[in-house]
Structure 1
């Protein structure tokens, strides 16, 4: 039996709805009667239901707010709204919540029974489709992994898979992760089949962010296959604003070749870290790559951090993760080895300087978790640069070898960094020669005053980007940058990534 909750603030109507319907005959059971949305939510925490019948206007929490909270957690539960004439327009706002129907007061018994009948049938369809999808997905994964030894012909008939042309390839399409449901993925695959109808593409969804394209033709080579898949990639990005990474298999000739081709595309996915989203690759991309161990100059890293040379360390990391890797054409395994070495090296610096993890510095586990979530080399470089800048900031804080005037300036900047402040203003405040004060500041702090102020603004901006939902333009003004484009340039110089890219990195 499907379970029902009824929410209505008027006792007479609530009791009436409960009594006028023969619930058993419909295969339904009323398990909850609530007087407002808040009470209904509390009841659902104890026992979930399949169908919710609710009024719109209720005290404490309205019907729409109640349904919105339920829908955020549950896509299966069906909703029926009861509404007075005066608030019918208001009820129309529930359309995005996938409401089954609206019933106007006074409630017509036959109308409510018809709607409940339709709702039960829809639930049966949803549940049957779900069972079919799970069973089919299980068979698909078994086939793709090469573990299906029997009943292949039955599976091919169920899925409609066929190879009726001499040459075929499998393309594995990986969408950049974000919150999406299977319906959206099905929409993307339908769009591809319609858009490239002349290619007779077959699609198979096997994961929440990945699907396969089976492309067959009377003639095929790697360049032709890649060109057509790049066209698919372009249209997905243009129409859905979703970036993808596509790996393309070797050419095969029959249905039994699909599983081997799939496994080949999965192995190629480890090169996402080098190629990045927005690209497509085949086995030629890996050809000739070296498993060369990239050396890490730990003494130079120590020297640059100790000298608080932000520009120097940024250039070194950029060379390490961009220029060096591209020139050497190394394997993805060599990249991961380098990542681990650098992460361990920075943890060594933290220990040697006796820096506290209570600050913004991350421990090894936290750093590695971020690195393994990174999409490509640009993300990895940004993660390391941010961590290095935090280490430099903490070393600054721990340095007590400042003269009183420099210590006072550093203290003042903590309060007025966002104001239009410069060395000349400070020199007048402390009755000193501007040039002399600048020399003292650079000698003790390790960088010019203007650079220190810029770094402080960028550090504050970074915290706001990672910890708030403020718009980038508002953050720029908040930390004292009147010109947003100038803020973008200075932030990227400091951290090696743009403010927008850093916020996107945070979301994954």
Structure 2
């Protein structure tokens, strides 16, 4: 049963329309009755309907403006316009907006019923086409996955007109930026591309188009140039941002799935190249997979010292300035995940809690779903800012002298420091200072200092090839055996065992 909304500013007419028909017999249900366009729009946003029967002339928001606003949100909703003004301007605007009909008051019951029946039939036909469209897409995805049997190849060869067993074909995937993009504009692009002489296309909703170039006279470089020019034409004519990935050439329909899969893998390079580019496997095959360099210790220090500007600046430089033109997408993702894990470690170590924090899995998902480097950067900005804010909040619970001691440990952990020397520095009794520190931080000063050193040592073990002896000295343990003992007390495994687990 399809839903209907009636919009009319005169209460008697509104109730009359509601009661004039047996809506249930038409397989319809009136779920909203509004007195102006603004009220109707608010109701529609709460519960959308399939059909809107509306007057044109109403206070606050008229029927045509209501039509415009709902059309922006849903193309399939149908409208029947009611009005007492027999003016061509209204009818012309209504027709342009694909209104089902334009009915004059006083309303003819039979005419309204006929229009509603025709509208229901049209909606049913649209639903059938949508289901057929989904079925066709499912079949194509099954074929392009490479699971189709040889006997089914002829069906898809016929759909694409690829009958030559030894042709010279090139496949490419066009992905468009869906932000603010209406379905009608996508349809316009598809209709336009179907006019291309040597181009066969398959729409893979929601945001991709498979294109097969059948011109037998072009080579790989000429094919990429063709797709690039096609991209420029589409973007300039329809104001749509696109990204095109071209797979290797193929000779028969049976090889199309392999070319498609290669092109699909190249879509991850959108994050590096951005919209408006057209790339091929040949272009990226020599890109390095080496990890991008990130100084985790320095980045961590910026955060723990609550230097928001320095931390965000470092991240900005890392993602926007140090990404080389020959870097692989894999190396970018590896660096981003390493940063996400570092932030997670900080939250766990300092027991930071906030409803604004992202779970590690959610942050990683955001990284992989981002369409460009700016998307990744934005996710990290909010997380880093919230961590520093929470550290500020945690610090505010400490007395000034404890905050000073914690800051000094973070900055000078390599030095030989103890509570006695610090008490002398801050003109306090050592025993009293120890009691304050234990009460506020939850552990002794010696344990806090040891944990700080071991945490930094752990990062060096996992993320560098430094020798264990050098790491011990780096964090302030001149005696390696003592370092081993303290590290194992902290983590339950020795430094060498931890490195072995990471297969260095």
CA distance 1:12–1:331, shift in 2 (3 Å):
closer
SS of the aligned residue for 1:146 comes to coil
| 1:357 and 1:363 in contact (8 A); partners too | no
2:373 corresponds to which of 373, 377, 400 = 377
Alignment partners' CA distance in 2, 1:294 and 1:350: 24
For residue 278 of structure 1, what is the aligned residue in structure 2? Answer: 276
SS of the aligned residue for 1:102 comes to strand
For residue 265 of structure 2, what is the aligned residue in structure 1? Answer: 267
Alignment partners' CA distance in 2, 1:272 and 1:47: 37
SS of the aligned residue for 2:234 comes to helix
Q: CA deviation at 1:152?
A: 3.8
1:204 aligns with 2:205: no
For residue 414 of structure 1, what is the aligned residue in structure 2? Answer: none
Deviates more, 1:280-289 or 1:116-125: 116-125
For residue 55 of structure 1, what is the aligned residue in structure 2? Answer: 55
Alignment partners' CA distance in 2, 1:65 and 1:192: 33
Alignment partners' CA distance in 2, 1:13 and 1:395: 60
Provide Cα deviations, 1:82-136, integer angstroms capped at 9, x if missing partner.
1112898678776676421111112346654664465355335323322331222
For residue 411 of structure 1, what is the aligned residue in structure 2? Answer: none
Give matches, 1:63-142, under 5 Å. Answer: 74-85=74-85, 98-108=98-108, 111-112=111-112, 115-116=115-116, 118-142=118-142
CA distance 1:387–1:72, shift in 2 (3 Å):
same
2:287 corresponds to which of 276, 280, 289 = 289
SS of the aligned residue for 2:217 comes to coil
1:168 aligns with 2:165: no
Provide Cα deviations, 1:346-373, integer angstroms capped at 9, x if missing partner.
2333445555525x66553553343233
Alignment partners' CA distance in 2, 1:17 and 1:176: 43
| 1:3 and 1:28 in contact (8 A); partners too | no
Give matches, 1:68-467, under 5 Å. Answer: 74-85=74-85, 98-108=98-108, 111-112=111-112, 115-116=115-116, 118-149=118-149, 150-157=151-158, 159-162=159-162, 166-194=167-195, 197=196, 199-306=197-304, 313=311, 316-318=314-316, 320-322=318-320, 324-326=322-324, 329-352=326-349, 355-357=352-354, 362-385=358-381, 387-392=383-388, 395=391
Alignment partners' CA distance in 2, 1:369 and 1:293: 20
Q: CA deviation at 1:342?
A: 0.9
Provide Cα deviations, 1:168-204, integer angstroms capped at 9, x if missing partner.
111101112324454322211222344xx3x521111
The number of equivalent residue pairs is 394
CA distance 1:389–1:292, shift in 2 (3 Å):
same
Coordinate RMSD, CA, aligned: 4.4
| 1:37 and 1:63 in contact (8 A); partners too | no
Alignment partners' CA distance in 1, 2:47 and 2:358: 41
| 2:23 and 2:29 in contact (8 A); partners too | no
Q: CA deviation at 1:313?
A: 4.4
CA distance 1:167–1:117, shift in 2 (3 Å):
same
Q: Which runs of 5+ in 2 are unaligned?
A: 401-504
SS of the aligned residue for 1:262 comes to helix
Alignment partners' CA distance in 1, 2:40 and 2:314: 59
Q: CA deviation at 1:330?
A: 4.5
For residue 462 of structure 2, what is the aligned residue in structure 1? Answer: none
Alignment partners' CA distance in 2, 1:11 and 1:356: 58
Alignment partners' CA distance in 2, 1:45 and 1:278: 34
Alignment partners' CA distance in 1, 2:242 and 2:163: 26
SS of the aligned residue for 1:211 comes to strand
Alignment partners' CA distance in 1, 2:174 and 2:379: 26
For residue 502 of structure 1, what is the aligned residue in structure 2? Answer: none
CA distance 1:80–1:355, shift in 2 (3 Å):
same
CA distance 1:220–1:61, shift in 2 (3 Å):
closer
Alignment partners' CA distance in 2, 1:311 and 1:34: 52
Alignment partners' CA distance in 1, 2:213 and 2:221: 14
Q: TM-score, normalised to structure 1's length?
A: 0.63
Structure 1 or 2, whichever has the larger Rg, is 2
Q: Which runs of 5+ in 1 are unaligned?
A: 404-508
| 1:175 and 1:210 in contact (8 A); partners too | yes
Alignment partners' CA distance in 2, 1:337 and 1:99: 52
Alignment partners' CA distance in 1, 2:43 and 2:332: 52
Deviates more, 1:104-113 or 1:261-270: 104-113
Alignment partners' CA distance in 2, 1:398 and 1:4: 55
Alignment partners' CA distance in 2, 1:367 and 1:43: 35
Alignment partners' CA distance in 2, 1:362 and 1:95: 49
CA distance 1:290–1:82, shift in 2 (3 Å):
same
Q: TM-score, normalised to structure 2's length?
A: 0.63
| 1:6 and 1:14 in contact (8 A); partners too | no
SS of the aligned residue for 1:256 comes to helix
| 1:166 and 1:217 in contact (8 A); partners too | no
| 1:32 and 1:43 in contact (8 A); partners too | no
Q: CA deviation at 1:249?
A: 0.8
CA distance 1:83–1:148, shift in 2 (3 Å):
same
Q: CA deviation at 1:145?
A: 1.5
